[in-house]
Copies of this chain bind each other. A is one copy, B any other.
């Protein structure tokens, strides 16, 4: 069953029908795949202002041309749509095995439209789409759903699902795959989008061939790079992203106590990757095609009969750990399992818990909102209770389920000061006071404050991308050179999103020339370095254009005041505050956007969008 790359199923939940759309080669060459192609399809399918949770709001899943091929670190896919959390562009990508499963089932992507009358799930089996009743799955957590579906279809299927939080349209519910290993497309609340469609899960299976024009050339080229890559990513292999906790704390990059403190050395040691490995690690988790295995596998904490469950990432340890002053690693592991089961984004959830702990400390909430929950800093058990209230939308949890900004505004008083968010989305666990570039990256990221659409904190401390002129280490506290760097990194990382390639490949030494070579082996396209960067810029700018249509302008490109005006006073970034407004001005100028942050017509014309 040989086919071309670019096969997308348009799924209509209103009448439970589907049709196949073959994306034109011209469009593929402009956007490649992944999030960029998703943004293109969104703008093709939606010509009016459709609220995120409206039935007409598309839920999009995309792989890329590399997904499931012999290219290392290619076991990824992305979900996208208008974010129920921010109201702006939403995307989240995820590793594991589901993306490859979709492609082997015959499709490179899905666009889901409409809303089913009652809960359904989708099965895609070697090109055949079926809509199945999901009433027996509704209310089940992500682990249970995966198990029940595997009981029905066998263990060879791949399942992507939402948890109870997604069903209840918690604004920061995610889309999960790989069962108990819990790979999460967490950010932007796309689980709520999926839930709003009454769609519980998507099961994929099949033996279809993944289109690669010249498999031998591809394999050869990949093989060449492998030793370098595994060498460079050795640390990541050993400790996974949790290995970052201690070094990030040391440089003042780790959020502590809702972003109020700069130093937490003893606490960081207790929740470190080293500690996790020694005390809890069962084995590594490898996404498809990955020689590194940064994923952690631990035993079940909530259900101790589970021998393996997905362990926490750096972000989870930080947001549900240090940022809540929780230093009990087993408690964090339990919270991690809980959010994975309920289908919540651990970053956003951690931020909401820390916010609530600060409200509790300041007396803005108490027994009336929390019942008997003693929500003092560091209390993992109370955090657990709060998270269940959120997923259930019970009482005060119902308000928190709307996101930080909305909740803070309704609570009033000083509450907005404690909501560390931009456009209703929490900052992830890297501190803009430690890296000025992050202060610029977060507000300008199209999907909301995002460390992955920039990863500028890598680039700020290492000269790892000479191809695009990032060849010297910059002073991490100064504005100098940051706008230029952030733009380059955002554009190139947008390309990576389109390829659905793991971003650790960059740390592993994958360069644009490799991307060009691999794309040529797969599709025959001959793309220059400039072409590739422009593809990234085009995707990035198209998303900005969508966001502008939804009301984004300079006023939205902001950071929480705490991060802008609160010096943490000790730790690796104690005295520093980011020169934000100055970098933002530089950024607009270099991007070809107006002073108000709107892409100029000339810029749009140049990029053909």
**Shortest beta-carbon distance, A480 to chain B, in Å?**
13
- Tell me if A282 counts as interface (CB < 8 A to partner B): no
Query: Could you say which residues of chain B place their CB within 8 Å of the CB of A580?
Result: 581
Q: Contact flags (1/0) for A575-609 with B, using CB distance below 8 Å?
A: 00111111011001100000110000000000000
Given A564-B581, A565-B585, A585-B567, also A596-B414 (CB < 8 A) = yes
Which of chain A's residues 18-70 have a Cβ closer than 8 Å to chain B?
A: none
Q: How long is the Cα–Cα vector from A417 to B564 in the complex, in angstroms?
A: 21
**Shortest beta-carbon distance, A572 to chain B, in Å?**
18
Q: How long is the Cα–Cα vector from A596 to B582 in the complex, in angstroms?
A: 22
- Tell me if A517 counts as interface (CB < 8 A to partner B): no
Query: Could you say which residues of chain B place their CB within 8 Å of the CB of A561?
Result: 554-555
**Shortest beta-carbon distance, A294 to chain B, in Å?**
35
A553 contact from B414, B553, B579, B585, Cβ within 8 A: B414
Residue on B with the closest CB to A585? B565
Query: Could you say which residues of chain B place their CB within 8 Å of the CB of A578?
Result: 581
Most buried by B among A561, A566, A589: A561
Query: Could you say which residues of chain B place their CB within 8 Å of the CB of A417?
Result: 553-555, 596
- Count identical subunits in the complex: 2
- Contact yes or no, A585 B595, CB < 8 A: no
Query: Could you say which residues of chain B place their CB within 8 Å of the CB of A589?
Result: 567
Query: Could you say which residues of chain B place their CB within 8 Å of the CB of A562?
Result: 595
**Shortest beta-carbon distance, A128 to chain B, in Å?**
48
A584 contact from B553, B565, B579, Cβ within 8 A: B565
Query: Could you say which residues of chain B place their CB within 8 Å of the CB of A595?
Result: 260, 562, 565-566
Query: Could you say which residues of chain B place their CB within 8 Å of the CB of A414?
Result: 553, 596
- Contact yes or no, A581 B585, CB < 8 A: no
- Tell me if A191 counts as interface (CB < 8 A to partner B): no
Query: Could you say which residues of chain B place their CB within 8 Å of the CB of A596?
Result: 414, 417
Given A416-B555, A553-B417, A554-B565, also A582-B585 (CB < 8 A) = no
**Shortest beta-carbon distance, A587 to chain B, in Å?**
9
Residue on B with the closest CB to A566? B595
Q: Contact flags (1/0) for A534-569 with B, using CB distance below 8 Å?
A: 000000000000000000011100000110111100
**Shortest beta-carbon distance, A231 to chain B, in Å?**
41
**Shortest beta-carbon distance, A440 to chain B, in Å?**
11
Residue on B with the closest CB to A597? B565
- Contact yes or no, B585 A566, CB < 8 A: yes
Q: Contact flags (1/0) for A403-429 with B, using CB distance below 8 Å?
A: 000000000001011000000000000
Q: How long is the Cα–Cα vector from A567 to B562 in the complex, in angstroms?
A: 25
Query: Could you say which residues of chain B place their CB within 8 Å of the CB of A564?
Result: 581
Which of chain A's residues 223-270 have a Cβ closer than 8 Å to chain B?
A: 260
Query: Could you say which residues of chain B place their CB within 8 Å of the CB of A581?
Result: 564-565, 577-578, 580-581
Assuming A414-B596, A417-B596, A579-B579, what are 19 further A-B pairs, CB within 8 angstroms?
Answer: A416-B555, A417-B553, A417-B555, A554-B561, A554-B565, A555-B561, A562-B595, A565-B581, A565-B584, A565-B585, A565-B588, A565-B595, A566-B595, A567-B589, A577-B581, A577-B585, A578-B581, A579-B582, A581-B581
Closest 10 CB pairs of A and B: A564-B581, A566-B595, A565-B585, A577-B582, A554-B561, A417-B596, A565-B581, A565-B584, A567-B585, A577-B585
Could you list 6 examples of A-B contacts with CB < 8 Å?
A564-B581, A565-B584, A566-B595, A578-B581, A579-B582, A580-B581
